[in-house]
Chains A and B, each alone.
Chain A
Amino acid sequence: MAAPLELMGQPAAPGFAVGALVRLPDAAAQPASSPDDVVAGRARLMAAIERAVAQLQSLQAAAGDDDAAGIIAFQVAMLEDDALRAPAFEAIDAGAPVEAAWRAALAAEIDGYERAAAPHFRARGVDLKDLRDRVLRCLGGTVPAAAAWPRGAILAADDLTPSRFLELDWSAGGGIALSAGSAASHVAMLARARGVPMVVGLGRFDMAGHATAALDGAAGILVLSPDAATRASMAGAVAPAAGGVAEAALLERPAMTADGERIKVLLNLSDPRELEGLDPAICDGVGVVRTEFLFTGPGLPDEATQHAAYCRILDFAAGRPVTIRTLDAGGDKPIPGLTREGESNPFLGVRGLRLSLARPEVFVVQLRALARAAACGAVKIMLPMVTVPAELTAARALLHEAAAELAEEGIAHRIPPLGIMVEVPAAALAIEQFAADFLSIGTNDLTQYVTAAGRDIGAVAALADPANPAVLRLIAEVARHGERADIEVSVCGDMAGEPAHVARLLRAGIRVLSVAPNRVGAVKAAIAGYRAGAATSD
């Protein structure tokens, strides 16, 4: 066994992990499709279609509600129709590779729908893309990363995308050790939310000969081939930090400052799986549902899938308000086939609402699903990356259009309150220009844009400080506007979940904090220790 080797990086998510050390294979390294002869090619496509139909049928059985089942039934019927596959088989007979033949056959159909004038026909293009990708996946025969990855292992990689993180099963623990990466990235945020210890900026290291590792997320340390003493001390150190008992006692009580002011604490959710084992009584509602989790599979999620996911979160919240953020793709969260490739600076490019407005056919599907969900719970819709008031106006118009369509189709719906994330300095500085129903300050992006320090660049991490007076001033200004205009202002960035920052935010006038589920106890404890007018260190 190799000698223990200790590596120092930067902490990205607290917690300890001890386990097998596994290098994550590169997602792009798909095996190239080998050329088939005509007979083998036809058989391969037929088998893939049959497998895809079987997958859909089991999804349909599990769908639960009629709408989801109905849409899947439509997909099955399409896939079983000879008319859909005939052009692909003809192309295979003519010598085309199987994957290319299938893609081309579907491209013709998808194109027909995408050019349709009526939105409900146009939206079916997404179903066909879903079918295309499902069959392609069945053709690939590649083992999904999650299956090849031993549960509870420590994952080593150069960097990790949020979608890859979400593909992996973290229910049995495990940890993340990245050579590059940043504590301020979205994937670090996901890791903190899920309680997965993560260390970034370890630099390149040689794993040869090291089968196991121990990770201390809070200290930023990775130990390769740890000795028995290290393993025992880390394995014994269960996550809750000092003060765990006091925090647990506060968890189910409404948050109150030392002078008795009630502060709302909401949850940030990135995936419905986070709800397992979570008691809604610990929060006053959900402050942000990041809907990117819906877009991690092949193809884009249809209306029924989205509606079902939103309803599940509403069920959990049991009447408490649930703020759902529309798709915030782009930046460090690319979605194949949706976000633009090759932008020289994706954080300043077509991301968030900019992307949604550029792709209304995708946006409208989400707005319809949200308006339908609003009929059965206290949904609020939040738009990310809003820069100018015209974007909010455009989004509101699309929401009303979607509602009118639903009314015409006789589908139950409601127009929910429409608010914005305040994360672009231009919006924060001219906040009174926006006719938003509520505001939520995204301190991660606001900090990176105000300090001109990229959240994905470890070398400038110290500059990207949310406690920078310029950032705090903007937060206070937005809070003041909220009070004057009588609209709710919350903070939903990582800053809200850091006990060290809670007093700063309360002092700036913020009375609603939205934090990762595992931060609620620590944040409520910090609120309980806050006294307005007490001496400060700022």
Chain B
Amino acid sequence: MAAEASGRVLLTHAAGLHARPCVKLTKLARTFVAAIELAADAAGPWVDAKSIVRVMAAKVPQHATLHFRASGEDAGEAVEALVRLVRDDFADGENSPVRGDGRSA
């Protein structure tokens, strides 16, 4: 069943969306089936959130608002997980996947 979702979050990470956070964000995005895009401005340009080349090239600075939009069966879950990753400042979650079941704040 196709679904659409969107969300936004303030990027507090020092130095902005640079190499390491980009790796984490795109890895997480790729765990979802939905097509996911992000932008540093609601008006776009939107880039594929699963492509580190595109996300990195967006050069999103600290204190920007990150916008996500997704479409596909797990769109809601995807946006929620990505927003949480950014809000938690890309905390180390490799061993405890951020992709959750919605129970956390």
Contact = CB atoms under 8 A, between A and B. Distances in A.
Tell me whether chain B's interface is mostly helix, strand or loop, or mixed.
helix
A83 B49 CA distance: 12
Contacts of A113: 57
Contact of B19 (A70, A81, A116): A70
A529 interface: no
B10 interface: no
A487 to B, nearest CB: 36
Interface stretch (A118-126, A394-402, A447-455): A118-126
Interface in A313-358: none
Nearest to B52: A77
Nearest to A304: B19
Contacts of B27: 77
B53 A81 contact: yes
Contacts of A124: 18-19, 56
B63 interface: no
B20 A70 contact: yes
Interface in B39-65: 48, 51-54, 56-57, 59, 61
A410 B23 CA distance: 19
B105 interface: no
A120 B59 CA distance: 10
A82 interface: yes
A121 B23 contact: no
B2 interface: no
Contacts, number: 54
Tell me whether chain A's interface is mostly helix, strand or loop, or mixed.
helix
A348 to B, nearest CB: 39
Contacts of A84: 53
Contact of A78 (B14, B20, B52, B61): B52
Contacts of B15: 118, 120, 405, 408-409
A339 to B, nearest CB: 27
A78 B59 contact: no
A118 to B, nearest CB: 6
A82 B51 CA distance: 8
A74 interface: yes
Contact of B16 (A78, A82, A118): A118
B96 to A, nearest CB: 17
Contacts of A83: 48, 51, 53-54
A293 to B, nearest CB: 25
Interface in A74-111: 74, 77-78, 81-84, 109
Contacts of B56: 78, 124
A109 B56 CA distance: 10
A300 to B, nearest CB: 16
Interface string A294-323: 000000000000000000000000000000
B15 to A, nearest CB: 5
A77 B26 contact: yes
B36 interface: no
Contacts of B61: 118
Interface of A: 70-71, 73-74, 77-78, 81-84, 109, 112-113, 116, 118, 120-121, 124, 127, 405, 408-410
28 contacts: A70-B19, A70-B20, A70-B23, A73-B23, A74-B22, A74-B52, A77-B23, A77-B27, A78-B53, A78-B56, A81-B26, A81-B51, A83-B48, A83-B51, A83-B53, A83-B54, A109-B53, A109-B57, A113-B57, A118-B16, A118-B61, A120-B15, A120-B18, A120-B19, A124-B18, A124-B19, A127-B19, A405-B15
Interface of B: 14-16, 18-20, 22-23, 26-27, 48, 51-54, 56-57, 59, 61
Given A74-B22, A118-B15, 5 more contacts: A71-B19, A83-B51, A127-B19, A408-B14, A408-B15
